[in-house]
Structure 1
């Protein structure tokens, strides 16, 4: 029998015992009107490979729990169970599975782990970041990141030196931070908190100031989405205090921008604009240096996109629209999700000024940008805000009816 190492790594990353996973799957089964039949022994059979292909109801429960296809959890579909799918469905399944599989093309788990193993794991992480840039946060991305974290922690037992072990702890924290970010983007905020708590512990143990800054950055973002502005400001200021921000102006710029968003949530205009000024000044001092793949999104265009958020929070919609246009002029095409988010904020700023026709055109452009993939949770929330404002400002216009007809099919997609 071949062990299911993928599922084992996921459980380790999520700190799930066999009993806890059994309970979670049973809850999913009960919600679906099925009998709760999973025990510790069932999970043990999955892990040892004695059960390679669970029953359909159980497979569906596992897919709902982890947010990805069953094959991405290390289970092997037998030949007799392989359906003949239309070509588009095949491509879509391959894409979803790729998010989890990218993290699992790992070095052989031999007795001693060295620098080349760490670099391979970093390459796998970069592949997941690239998927995030295109589609945004979703279950398969979270699962892939968690699988990568579990694999790193397993390999850390064979670290050849204390330095390698520290690098592995840092890398595991990076994977968990990506899992958390995927949850934030998907608006799965409780799960994001769980992943960030673990990432913060590993970041502290690693002593890596860059990953410590990474974690604080996502803590600030999570607090913003949970409407806890005081926590958002405190987390962003903690990011500013890291050695990474003191040594690299690019990190400092991003931390100041996150602080500005927290202040704007508090409607403290003076503090928000002051922090934006600090962010722009630091950005002008930054140089091209090797940095983690997740930070590739941050440049002047992204600072303009964050400025649009700050101005929108402060009710300054004309300035928010201008900043959104500036951002969209230079956000690279490969950052598809970021372009879509900036366009959605543009729509919100335009309807905030009563410009229903322009706003509906911008909102429709978001759907066009993300065509082929479901909208992320953050995007749905932002477009939901836009839609409510639109119905308040211009409920009976032709543009409103066209937008409503265009958007209706999107709300049912998952």
Structure 2
């Protein structure tokens, strides 16, 4: 393997212990401190999978700067302090050119990414190819605009290829979700197929221990759902349906209730968007039957919202209201450690946004606008795609409610957010709003929105 022409082959400097962070832990054990981090996360509607190992990595200096979720939690735990006060390096330094070269050109092997942080710009670990009894594991940096060609590293001969690739599969899932939160699905879907294909190749690569197979099946299924969501968000409904079905089949083979509930949840959402509301109700109810065994009220709350969306599509307001009331009651019970990691997006803003969509489907425009406005107000701006989605929903609800000037203003804000987001779903909503506002095109605000909406953005 040739070394990079941009960086000498000298080893990277060892990490420096984070003494400031260690001092904040005080007499608590790493496990006790990790529990406090999780509690603080729930207080602000965040979801982090913090454990003693993560705390140890921070204190050892292995995590030079936390990801955005952990950053919000730490600053909530220690108000008035900055990341520097907590012993972390600036994100601009960790994610800069030097960090990229260190990771990409030193051909680092994949590692257990349970708490891998953003030490380089939107890193994604992928796998390519199978050779004999070993896996060729690729580590690639994927940005929203392209893929850096992977550098490969042969897995040790005494390791099964499935074990060697688990970390890369799980990291791919996290990175897809991270990029989707910021940029939407359109620009990511085509580049997400390779890791999904390889994940299933690893499952077929031969016998492995049960724990390895179970973990890889779960990872492959979750990756299929993530790729399916990118297809869904970019308007490729048939592709999304296929990926969700693949995830569901994997869940059934593995006997994985959590994966099955997730697959049915996304299937219900897709069915609603594809104009199959009765299928949406059935899929949501199937997800709830499986999800009831998982002990997560927040999961059941989201599934109730999926069911409500189906009832709204069928025009059954009474059934929709019952499902919404159930969703709100379950949400009010708060988060628990049983909440799936993929549900980190589901907070008060998403609850309000999905309720707005239900009232919109029922034609209750003023009521829909009320909830959409709440969703915009509650949404963390860090989740750019969701902010664009809720703002577009608000614009459409206001337009249909006859609040023309305010609708045009909201539409303009949504268009501004689309500079960083590529989502056919959001763009389609704004195109519909433009048609509603077209009869009012002589109004100055409406004219400006229509002109901006007609311009290409990407």
| Length-normalised TM-score, structure 1 | 0.71
Are the aligned partners of 2:169 and 2:223 in contact in 1 as well (CA < 8 Å)?
no
- TM-superposed deviation, 1:338: 0.6
- TM-superposed deviation, 1:245: 5.8
Selected match of 1:96 from 145, 149, 152: 145
- TM-superposed deviation, 1:107: 8.6
SS at match of 2:188: helix
Q: Give, in whole Å, the separation in 1 of the partners of 2:455 and 2:274.
A: 28
SS at match of 1:138: coil
> Are 1:383 and 2:433 matched, yes or no?
no
Are the aligned partners of 1:107 and 1:120 in contact in 2 as well (CA < 8 Å)?
no
What are the equivalent positions in structure 2 for 1:361-380 lying under 5 Å apart?
A: 361-373=409-421, 375-380=422-427
Mark the runs of 5 or more structure 1 residues left unpaired by the alignment: 1-71, 75-92
Change (3 A) 1:265 1:289: same
- TM-superposed deviation, 1:109: 7.8
Could you tell me which residue of structure 2 aligns to residue 17 of structure 1? none
Q: Give, in whole Å, the separation in 2 of the partners of 1:342 and 1:124.
A: 27
Selected match of 1:325 from 350, 373, 382: 373
Mark the runs of 5 or more structure 2 residues left unpaired by the alignment: 1-125, 129-141
- TM-superposed deviation, 1:258: 0.4
Which string of whole-angstrom CA distances, capped at 9 and with x for unpartnered residues, describes residues 27-76 of structure 1? xxxxxxxxxxxxxxxxxxxxxxxxxxxxxxxxxxxxxxxxxxxxx998xx
Change (3 A) 1:114 1:286: farther
Change (3 A) 1:173 1:293: same
Could you tell me which residue of structure 2 aligns to residue 218 of structure 1? 266
SS at match of 1:241: helix
Q: Give, in whole Å, the separation in 1 of the partners of 2:401 and 2:152.
A: 50
- TM-superposed deviation, 1:319: 1.2
- TM-superposed deviation, 1:160: 3.3
Change (3 A) 1:200 1:388: same
Are the aligned partners of 1:220 and 1:232 in contact in 2 as well (CA < 8 Å)?
yes
SS at match of 1:409: coil
Could you tell me which residue of structure 1 aligns to residue 197 of structure 2? 150
Are the aligned partners of 2:301 and 2:328 in contact in 1 as well (CA < 8 Å)?
yes
- TM-superposed deviation, 1:167: 1.7
Change (3 A) 1:370 1:107: farther
Selected match of 1:164 from 212, 231, 235: 212
> Are 1:207 and 2:255 matched, yes or no?
yes
Are the aligned partners of 2:127 and 2:195 in contact in 1 as well (CA < 8 Å)?
no
What are the equivalent positions in structure 2 for 1:341-356 lying under 5 Å apart?
A: 341-356=389-404
Q: Give, in whole Å, the separation in 2 of the partners of 1:355 and 1:379.
A: 20
Q: Give, in whole Å, the separation in 2 of the partners of 1:107 and 1:181.
A: 32
Change (3 A) 1:197 1:188: same
Aligned pairs, number? 321
Could you tell me which residue of structure 1 aligns to residue 155 of structure 2? 108
Q: Per residue, is there more strand in 1 or in 2?
A: 2
Change (3 A) 1:237 1:107: farther
Q: Give, in whole Å, the separation in 2 of the partners of 1:106 and 1:335.
A: 34
> Are 1:407 and 2:453 matched, yes or no?
yes
Change (3 A) 1:94 1:233: closer
What are the equivalent positions in structure 2 for 1:99-138 lying under 5 Å apart?
A: 108=155, 111-113=159-161, 117-138=165-186
Could you tell me which residue of structure 2 aligns to residue 302 of structure 1? 350
Q: Give, in whole Å, the separation in 1 of the partners of 2:207 and 2:187.
A: 30
Are the aligned partners of 1:239 and 1:245 in contact in 2 as well (CA < 8 Å)?
no
Q: Per residue, is there more helix in 1 or in 2?
A: 1
> Are 1:141 and 2:189 matched, yes or no?
yes
RMSD in angstroms over aligned alpha carbons?
Answer: 2.9
> Are 1:280 and 2:328 matched, yes or no?
yes
Q: Give, in whole Å, the separation in 2 of the partners of 1:173 and 1:109.
A: 26
Which string of whole-angstrom CA distances, capped at 9 and with x for unpartnered residues, describes residues 89-108 of structure 1? xxxx953225x989x99993
Selected match of 1:239 from 267, 274, 287: 287
